[in-house]
Amino acid sequence: MAELANIPWNLILPILVLQLILMAVALIDVIRRQKTNGPFIMWIFIILLGSLLGSILYFIFGRRQD
Amino acid sequence: MKGLGVLLQKEWRENARNFKLYWIPIVFIIFGIIEPITNHYLPEIMKSVGNLPEGAEFTWPQFRGEDIFISLMGQYQLIGILIIILAFMGSISSERKSGTATLLYVRPMSFGSYFLSKWIVINGIVLGSVWLGFFAAWYYVNILFNPVAAGDVFAFLVTYSLWIIFAVTVVLSFSAWMSTGGTVGLSIVVLLVLQIIDSVIGAFWTVSPWKVTMYASMMFSSVSNQSGFWMSIGLTILLTIGLVIFGINMAKRNAAKTTV
């Protein structure tokens, strides 16, 4: 537990919050439309497990343009 | 410039609805925060996950705050440019393909305002994201490293913005010219491959748009090459204007290619 307290949380926290916002927006979008490039369940896993890169990939390649 | 106001609103709303207005700034800010933190904690990170042998001693380079800005710019030069290319590759070409363009082209609008409305909104989003990213990094640099003079930071940002505007113009005008796939390929060649070529054999000349980023990083040091700097700036502005005119003409010429 001592190591956990040593982590500078006040510095790391903004990154975690921003990443969480990004992930939440991507998830809400994928669930609301369900029409994606490729299987929609696959994109949920990519967003959840891919952290920053997963959400970026969804926004660039996952959303169908029409 | 018929209907520029309306088209600007349309672009703005479109980018809000496809979330580009939100996710691009967030990604740039995240990179802006990660860069100073990893550089500051690099020795500790290496100690805990680096598998260094017992008793190994390394002397880590002592970074100054100014170096962090330059290394963050290096990140944006690869990841940032890739995001710009991939996010805006279909700005015009996919509108032609999906039929949105058909609905637009039957209205009384000039292709100048059509192209410029996209150019202004995309530049606004990307420049806003880059500046927010550097401001986030600046805040962290002041906490973790030494304070950096505001004058240097703004001179650096203004110069770097010129390169970003050039990059956006390249992507947008290629999108007016070719299909989405062609846009990606040629933009990567122009913005990433030529950038590498310029850095490898670029010692033979001092004036090129790809040198603007190098001149931007010189804002933090006392070394300066005045004539080369202003010539590169001038050349980049001329090329940007040329690409805008080229893009407008290509959008007009390819208007017949829309799917109805």
- Say yes or no: A15 contacts chain B, CB-CB below 8 A: yes
Q: How confident is the model at residue B1 (pLDDT cuts 50, 70, 90)?
A: low
Gap between the Cα atoms of A5 and B16, Å rounded: 39
Contact at CB, B98 and A65, closer than 8 angstroms: yes
Q: What average pLDDT does the segment B5-9 reach?
A: 92
Helices (H), B145-225: 150-177, 180-188, 194-201, 212-217
Q: How far apart are the first and last CA of chain A?
A: 50
pLDDT given at position B166: 96
Q: Looking at beta carbons, which residues of chain B come within 8 Å of A63?
A: 18
Q: Looking at beta carbons, which residues of chain B come within 8 Å of A11?
A: 37, 140, 143-144
Q: Looking at beta carbons, which residues of chain A come within 8 Å of B136?
A: 14
pLDDT given at position B73: 95
Q: Looking at beta carbons, which residues of chain B come within 8 Å of A65?
A: 90, 94, 98
Gap between the Cα atoms of B187 and B83, Å rounded: 12
pLDDT in tens, B17-47: 889 999 999 999 999 999 999 988 888 877 7
Residue B30, CB-side half-sphere exposure with 13 Å CA sphere: 22
Q: Which residues contact B137 (CB under 8 A, 6 or more apart)?
A: B32, B33, B35, B36, B68, B69, B72
Tokens of B151: 């004058």
pLDDT in tens, B49-107: 777 777 777 777 788 889 999 999 999 999 999 999 999 998 999 888 888 888 888 88
pLDDT in tens, B108-161: 888 999 999 999 999 999 999 999 999 999 999 999 999 999 999 999 999 999
Q: b/e per residue, B127-162, with b = 16+ CB within 10 A?
A: bebbbbbbebbbebbeebbeebeeeebeebbebbbb
Which of B37, B87, B94 has the CB atom closest to A60's CB atom?
B87
Contact at CB, A63 and B27, closer than 8 angstroms: no
Distance from CA of A36 to the nearest CA of B (A): 13
For B54, list phi and psi in degrees, rounded to 5.
Answer: -60, 130
Gap between the Cα atoms of B180 and B203, Å rounded: 34
Gap between the Cα atoms of B82 and B201, Å rounded: 23
pLDDT given at position B106: 85
What is the percent of chain B where pLDDT is above 90? 66
Interface test with chain B among A4, A20, A22, A57, by most B beta carbons within 10 Å: A22
Tell me if the pTM is above 0.95.
no
ipTM over 0.85? The verdict is yes
Count of residues for chain B?
Answer: 260
The residues that bridge with A63 in the sheet, in sequence order, are A36
CA angle B66, B68, B73 (to 5 degrees): 105
- Say yes or no: A11 contacts chain B, CB-CB below 8 A: yes
